[in-house]
Amino acid sequence: MISEFRAFLTKTNALALAVGVIVGAAVGNVVTSLAGDILMPLIGPLLQGGEWRSARIVLSTAKDANGKITENAILYGHFAGTVLDFVIISFVVFLIVKWLVKPAPVPPPAPMKTCPECLEMIPAAARRCRACTASIA
């Protein structure tokens, strides 16, 4: 049973997925810390002062059976703050990925020529057309 489980882990992408999830969680913590501990203190002075994240529109209030007052409110300040956090974290992740992942160089296309019989594009080194099988001089 253990050998079957080992085969399952090595034949499928389960191990790679597990490693990806663990590394992704660690990177998520680093990016969240970068945004919250480094970027937000720099951005904070540019934003409106006060407790703007606690801004809300109260729709109704009521007392429950214990006499406790409850509110039904739209928390638009919290929503705006969450959207701002998302944009900042997404941008930081974009910059990290752009910095780490370099695109592979694209090889130049092979030289091509046109078959004189059927006008099909064929490699320049070809001696016979693959479409019409005509001999190419």
Short-list 91, 100, 78, CA closest to 39: 91
Do 73 and 115 lie in a common domain? Answer: no
The per-residue pLDDT for range 11-37, each reduced to its tens digit, is: 767 777 888 889 888 878 887 787 778
Q: Which two tokens stand for residue 62?
A: 């009521």
Residues 124 and 78 both lie in one domain: no
Asked whether the CA dihedral 103, 91, 95, 92 is positive or negative, the reply is negative
User: How many other C-beta atoms are found inside a 10 Å radius of the C-beta of residue 60?
Assistant: 8
Give the whole-angstrom CA distance, residue 104 versus residue 102. Answer: 6
Residue 121 pLDDT:
92
- Express each pLDDT in 68-117 by its tens digit: 888 888 888 888 888 887 887 788 778 888 888 888 888 898 899 999 88
Reported as a pLDDT band with limits 50, 70 and 90, residue 55 is confident
Is 116 found in the same domain as 96?
A: no
Q: 114 and 98, same structural domain?
A: no
Contacts of 18 (CB under 8 A, 6+ apart): none
pTM of the model: 0.47
